[in-house]
Amino acid sequence: MNRHAVSSVLALVMLCGCATKPAITPVRLGEAIEIAVAQSPQAKGVASIRNDALGKDMLAGGGSGALAGGLWGLTCGPFAPLCIPLGAAAGVITGTAAGAVVGLTGELSEDKVVQIRARLLRMQQTDSMITELQSSLTERAREFWNLTSDQPSTVVSVELQDLLLTSTRDESVSCAVRVWVSVRQASASGASLPQQKLYEYVSPFSSVLVWLDESSAVVDNCIKSASQQVAAQIVSDLAGAKP
């Protein structure tokens, strides 16, 4: 098997679509704007918990399976251009399934999942995340725009999505906060589509014992850090700041 053939298989396996992040047109400095933060209407209020070990093992299994299947396709001789993608596709399915079986061993116990969700639900009922995010956005945005006008020319709607927790095989947990931002002109017609972008903050991993400890500040730290960093990203985009 020559090096060029192997490189072709690797290129096929690694090929994936790259989606660019939606851009938000900067708002003119000094303009009157309104920033409203609320819970997403689609949010269920229950944090989902993703098994990081499952995802990684499935990804590794799928990649290995695709590579093995693609290499098998090279044995088809003149039919290799047809066999390679078919073999890679079949390998992805087989490898992903095998990885899933291994990854399931890293799941948190149901009891721990219930306790963590209960703690997060109590936090969400106080609206502390929405309050923190609104405060952080207002503090930063007032340096660039007029937030007190009764007739804002631009409306920025910020919707807090359901929280996403990720657990690892060694029972460490991370929290991801996602917000969906829509920007529209106040004078725009109902048929005009607003500019939209999804922002996300992912906290460092902490032991599940820390998440279960009611005296720990892990939840509050996640809320404050997420509010500050997401607010900074949103304001930076609206102001047209270069990274």
Q: Where are the domains of the chain?
A: 29-51+108-239
Q: CB count, 10 Å around CB of 181?
A: 24
d(CA 34, CA 165): 31
Q: Measuring CA to CA, which residue among 67, 65, 37, 51 is closest to residue 140?
A: 37
Residue range 65-122, pLDDT digits in tens: 445 544 544 555 554 555 555 555 554 454 444 333 333 334 778 888 888 888 887 7
* Weakest mean pLDDT among 52-56, 125-129, 162-166, 186-190: 52-56
Q: 38-42, 135-139, 212-216 — which one is most confidently predicted on average?
A: 135-139
The pLDDT assigned to 82 comes to 52
pLDDT the model gives residue 236: 95
- Burial of 213-229, coded b for 16+ CB within 10 Å and e otherwise, reads eeeeebbeebbebbbbb
2 pLDDT exceeds 50? no
**How large is the average pLDDT for residues 29-48?**
87
d(CA 164, CA 202): 9
How far apart, in whole angstroms, are the C-alpha atoms of residue 183 and residue 163?
A: 22
Query: How much is the pTM?
Result: 0.68
Q: Is 70 exposed, middle or buried (0-12, 13-18, 19+ CB in 10 A)?
A: buried
Residue 54, pLDDT score:
37
pLDDT at 204 over 90: yes
| Beta carbons within 8 Å of 46's beta carbon, 6+ residues apart | 117, 121, 162
pLDDT score at 140? 96
**List of E strands, 7-130:** 33-39, 48-51
Q: What is the pLDDT of residue 78?
A: 58
Report whether 189 contacts 90 (CB < 8 A). no
Q: Is residue 145 pLDDT above 80, yes or no?
A: yes
CB neighbours of residue 91 within 10 Å: 24
pLDDT at residue 38 in the model: 93
The second-level CATH assignment, the architecture, of 29-51+108-239 is 2-Layer Sandwich (3.30)
Query: What average pLDDT does range 151-174 have in this prediction?
Result: 90
Comparison of pLDDT for 91 and 140, the residue scoring more: 140
pLDDT-based confidence at 44, cuts 50/70/90? confident
Q: Three-state DSSP class for 217? A: coil
Mean pLDDT across the stretch 203-217? Answer: 91
**What's the confidence (pLDDT) of residue 230?**
95
DSSP-based three-state secondary structure for 63? helix
